[in-house]
């Protein structure tokens, strides 16, 4: 990051109206990494040549090798719209279903999400899951339809056929928004081409179009076709740069922390909105008491525990005495850092509305509320849509490594609350349970590669739960004296009732 860019970011952090905290959510392989890299390159954060190759957000070696994004990192960029400089914090969210827990936690830190859907495949199950997780946290969506180049070059669709495909994808996304958005946002948050909340493009070839850009530059799909006819992808990219269309849309359609906290806080925090902390939270006020919510804990070999999260109120500073509400303990902030892809930038303070990391919070877990106001209650627990269903027994090949293995397992559990570790000190049998086989495999690699412990694991055991998919026929049972007949049928619970029971808010009737 160039020095002047760093100071621009530090300046930008002070203006909550000009901040956008966003995530990108997509089904695996729909192009999220390529898209994020090109956004960053466009905003001058990484070199244009390396975009798509460098994978700024995939900083873990394991991720780069497998070519998938596992851990959410965050990066900041600046974007100018109508003479104003906006700070955009992009939090990366994994696309693989096995990492659903990471997605949910990242959503707490952001106010808006770019839903990326591949133009060829359309909305897929994981598109639905991530969108549902975003909406549950009151995170506003916009839509990016990616891989449009394939519709033109590979499938050779006519403009008419292409438009029909877009309409279908937009309708599907809007149907999901109508199903999962909070009641008051079901209509308000519908995405549309006309209002500019939908962009089209190719992350791979680094171009994008929105209605705003079409009007401002007098461009349209006929121009896209003509660039392809001339086989001039560079001209296309120059005419309609991806980062310009997308970041303009982000600034225009996604809310600032100040705007979003007004409706997000009542859902995420049940405390008294009239109290000093309550008022400050609703206003994203950097002069109020500190309220910070941890969304991710990383255990760094040098710095130890770093709790990353969002400053919802007050200003986070080095050396503050803070309360950890859930852990019911006090601690002191040793260092404040900003995540820069794989590295860190140490800063003096971070005001409300921003994403930062605190070094020294040993007891913090994802979901923890860290505050200077000892009287307030914590944020709602971050609820995960998934539970660990695959488990494996894990032991150290060499018995002398057992204490080290137990230590490592406990740390892994701290970093990733969707990983469940059961340790039996007496038998030495340890069980790790995760969201899928890939989830566990990655953890095993971490143990052997990073920690140097040779391990032996059992085959995975998958817990199956039976479910009801449709209304059953009526079955009859008789009482022992055969005088009473009992008729029973089962049917799936509708989503609304399921959500209500999950949140403890059971409707009457
Ligand atoms: P992720 O799993 O969502 O992060 O997806 P990646 O960014 O790793 O992309 C998956 C594959 O799709 C890679 O081979 C990319 O080169 C390719 N890809 C991404 N965006 C586009 C696009 O706009 N057009 C085409 N043709 N391929 C793309």
Residue with tokens 């995530």: 23
pLDDT at site 288? 95
pLDDT at site 59? 46
Three-state secondary structure call for residue 345: strand
Break the chain down into helix, strand, coil percent, rounded to 5. 35, 25, 40
Residues of the chain with pLDDT under 50: 1-3, 47, 50, 53-55, 58-60, 62-72, 95-98
Tell the residue nearest (CA) to atom 10 of ligand 1.
29
Q: Distance from the CA of 244 to the center of ligand 1, in angstroms? A: 19
Residue 151, phi-psi category: left (phi > 0), alpha (psi -120 to 50), beta (remainder): alpha
Note whether 219 and 213 are within 8 A (CB). Answer: yes
The preferred substitution site among 203, 209, 240, 242 for testing ligand 1, maximizing ligand atoms within 8 Å of CB, is 203
Tell the residue nearest (CA) to atom 11 of ligand 1.
29
pLDDT at site 69? 38
Q: Which of ligand 1's atoms lies nearest the C-alpha of 69?
A: 4
Q: Distance from the CA of 37 to the center of ligand 1, in angstroms? A: 11
| CB-CB neighbours of 184 under 10 Å | 10
CA distance 437 to 412: 16
Q: Distance from the CA of 450 to the center of ligand 1, in angstroms? A: 29
CA distance 91 to 382: 17
Strands of 198-202's sheet, edge to edge? 74-81, 84-92, 19-26, 112-118, 140-146, 198-202, 207-209
Note whether 276 and 289 are within 8 A (CB). Answer: yes
Q: Which residues of 41-59 are buried (b: 16+ CB within 10 A; e: fewer)?
A: bbbebbeeeebbebbbbbb
Which residues are paired to 96 by β-bridges? none
Q: Distance from the CA of 455 to the center of ligand 1, in angstroms? A: 35
Q: Distance from the CA of 30 to the center of ligand 1, in angstroms? A: 6
pLDDT at site 399? 82
- Residues touching ligand 1 (Cβ under 6 Å) are 26, 28-34, 67-69, 95, 146-147, 149-150, 202-204
Write down how long the chain is.
509
Q: Does the predicted model carry a pTM greater than 0.85?
A: no
The preferred substitution site among 31, 59, 200 for testing ligand 1, maximizing ligand atoms within 8 Å of CB, is 31
Note whether 222 and 167 are within 8 A (CB). Answer: no
Structure tokens at 252: 């225009």
pLDDT at site 176? 95
The preferred substitution site among 29, 95, 155 for testing ligand 1, maximizing ligand atoms within 8 Å of CB, is 29
pLDDT at site 64? 45
Going 300 to 74 to 108 to 20, the CA torsion angle's sign is: positive
Note whether 25 and 131 are within 8 A (CB). Answer: yes
CA distance 479 to 310: 59
Note whether 137 and 84 are within 8 A (CB). Answer: no
Expressed in angstroms, the distance from the first to the final Cα of the chain is: 58
Three-state secondary structure call for residue 21: strand
pLDDT at site 434? 80
CA distance 127 to 242: 21
Q: Distance from the CA of 78 to the center of ligand 1, in angstroms? A: 24
């Amino acid at each position: 990051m160039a020095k002047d860019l760093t100071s621009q970011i530090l300046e930008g952090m002070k203006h909550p109206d000009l901040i956008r905290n966003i995530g990108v959510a997509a089904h695996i392989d729909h192009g999220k990494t390529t898209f994020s890299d090109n956004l960053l390159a466009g905003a001058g954060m990484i070199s244009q040549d390396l975009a798509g190759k460098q994978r700024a957000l995939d900083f873990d070696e394991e991720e780069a090798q497998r070519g998938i994004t596992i851990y959410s990192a965050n990066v900041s960029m600046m974007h100018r719209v109508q003479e104003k400089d906006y700070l955009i914090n992009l939090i990366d969210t994994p696309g693989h279903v096995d990492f659903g827990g990471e997605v949910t936690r990242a959503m707490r830190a952001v106010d808006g999400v770019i839903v990326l859907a591949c133009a060829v495949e359309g909305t897929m199950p994981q598109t639905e899951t991530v969108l549902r997780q975003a909406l549950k946290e009151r995170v506003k969506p916009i839509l990016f339809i990616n891989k449009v180049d394939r519709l033109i070059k590979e499938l050779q669709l006519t403009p008419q056929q292409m438009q029909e495909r877009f309409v279908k994808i937009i309708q599907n996304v809007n149907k999901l928004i109508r199903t999962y958005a909070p009641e008051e946002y079901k209509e308000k948050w519908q995405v549309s081409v006309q209002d500019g909340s939908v962009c089209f493009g190719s992350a791979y070839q680094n171009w994008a179009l929105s209605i705003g850009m079409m009007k401002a530059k007098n461009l349209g799909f006929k121009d896209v076709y003509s660039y392809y006819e001339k086989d001039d992808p560079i001209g296309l990219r120059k005419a309609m740069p991806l980062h310009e269309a997308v970041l303009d849309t982000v600034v225009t359609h996604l809310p600032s922390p100040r705007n979003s906290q007004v409706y997000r806080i009542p859902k995420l925090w049940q405390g008294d909105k009239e109290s000093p902390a309550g008022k400050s939270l609703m206003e994203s006020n950097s002069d109020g008491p500190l309220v910070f919510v941890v969304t991710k804990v990383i255990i760094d070999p040098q710095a130890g525990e770093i709790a990353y999260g969002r400053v919802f109120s007050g200003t986070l500073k080095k050396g503050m005495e803070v309360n950890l509400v859930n852990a019911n303990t006090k601690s002191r902030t040793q260092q404040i850092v900003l995540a820069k892809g794989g590295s860190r930038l140490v800063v003096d303070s971070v005001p409300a509305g921003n994403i930062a990391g605190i070094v020294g919070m040993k007891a913090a877990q994802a979901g923890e509320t860290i505050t200077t106001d000892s009287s307030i209650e914590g944020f709602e627990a971050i609820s995960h849509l998934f539970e660990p269903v695959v488990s494996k027994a894990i032991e150290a090949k060499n018995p002398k490594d057992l204490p080290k293995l137990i230590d490592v397992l406990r740390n892994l559990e701290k970093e990733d609350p969707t990983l469940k570790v059961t340790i039996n000190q007496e038998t030495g049998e340890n069980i790790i349970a995760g969201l899928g086989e890939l989830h566990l495999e990655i953890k095993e690699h971490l143990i052997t590669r990073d920690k140097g412990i040779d391990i032996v694991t059992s085959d995975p055991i998958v817990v199956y739960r039976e479910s009801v998919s449709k209304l059953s026929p009526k079955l009859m049972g008789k009482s022992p004296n055969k005088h009473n007949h009992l008729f029973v049928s089962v049917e799936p619970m509708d989503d609304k009732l399921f959500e209500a029971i999950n949140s403890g808010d059971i409707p009457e009737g």
